[in-house]
Chains A and B, each alone.
Chain A
Amino acid sequence: MKYVILIHSNPQPWGHPTSDYTSEYQALPAQQQKDLGARWEKVFGDADAKGEIIYGCALGDPTSSRVFHFQGEPLPIDGPYAESKEHLAGFFLIDVESQERAEEIAAAFSCPGDTIELRPTMRPGCES
Chain B
Amino acid sequence: MLVLCCHPSLSTASAVALTLRAVAGLTTREIAAGLLVPETTAAQRISRAKATLRARGARFGTVEAAELPQRLHAVRHVLHLIFTTGAAPPSGGDVINHDLVTEAIRLTERLHRALPRDPETMGLLALMVLVEARAAARTRDGILIPLAEQDREVWDQHKIARGVSLLEAALPHGPVGPFQIQAAIAAVHATAETLQSTDWAQIHELYRMLLTVAPGPAAALGAAIALSELDGPAAGLEALQPLLTARPRDHRILAAQAHLLDALGSPEAADAYQRAATLTDSIPEQRYLNAKARHARS
- The answer to whether A124 touches B92, judged by C-beta atoms less than 8 angstroms apart, is yes
Is B64 in contact with chain A by the CB < 8 A criterion?
Answer: no
Task: Answer yes or no: A85 CB below 8 A from chain B CBs.
Answer: no
Q: Decide yes or no: A1 and B13 within 8 Å by CB, A126-B139, A128-B87 being known contacts.
A: no
Asked if B131 is at the interface (CB within 8 A of a chain A CB), the reply is yes
Residues of A in contact (CB 8 Å), total 19
Total number of residue pairs linking A and B with CB closer than 8 Å: 70
B45 within 8 A of A: yes
Tell me which residues across on chain A come within 8 A of B48, comparing CB atoms: 49-51
In the bound complex, do residue A125 and residue B88 qualify as a contact, i.e. CB atoms below 8 Å apart?
yes
Chain B binder among A4-12, A65-73, A76-84, A115-123: A115-123
Q: Is the CB of B138 within 8 A of A123?
A: no
Main secondary structure of the interface of A (DSSP, over half): loop
Q: Does A51 contact B284, Cβ atoms closer than 8 Å?
A: no
Which single residue of chain A is at the shortest CB-CB distance from B101?
Answer: A128
Given contacts A50-B13, A51-B45, A52-B13, A126 and B281 within 8 Å (CB-CB): no
The B-contacting residues of A in range 75-128, CB under 8 angstroms, are 95, 97, 120-128
Interface membership of chain B positions 85-103, coded 1 if the CB is closer than 8 angstroms to chain A and 0 otherwise: 0011111100100000000
Chain A residues contacting B91 (CB-CB under 8 Å) are 124-125
Q: Is A54 interfacial (CB-CB < 8 Å)?
A: yes
Stretch at the interface among B33-41, B117-125, B195-203, B227-235: B33-41
Chain A residues with Cβ below 8 Å from B92 are 124
A53 → B minimal CB distance (Å): 8
**Whole-angstrom CA separation of A54 from B88 in the bound complex:** 20
A60 to B256, CA, bound (A): 45
Contacting pair B281 A51 (CB below 8 A): no
Residues 117-151 of B, flagged 1 when their CB comes within 8 A of A and 0 if not, give 00000000000000100010011000010000000
Q: How far is the CA of A126 from the CA of B289 in the complex (A)?
A: 12
- The reply to whether A95 and B281 contact each other, CB–CB distance below 8 Å, is no
B41 and A122 contact, CB distance less than 8 A: no
User: B89: which A residues are within 8 A, CB to CB?
Assistant: 125
A122-B286 in contact given A49-B48, A95-B37 (Cβ < 8 Å):
yes
CB pair B282 A51 closer than 8 Å: no
Tell me if B11 is interfacial: C-beta within 8 Å of chain A.
yes
Q: List 12 A-B contacts (CB under 8 A).
A: A50-B48, A51-B13, A54-B38, A55-B41, A122-B281, A122-B282, A123-B281, A124-B36, A124-B90, A124-B95, A125-B284, A128-B87
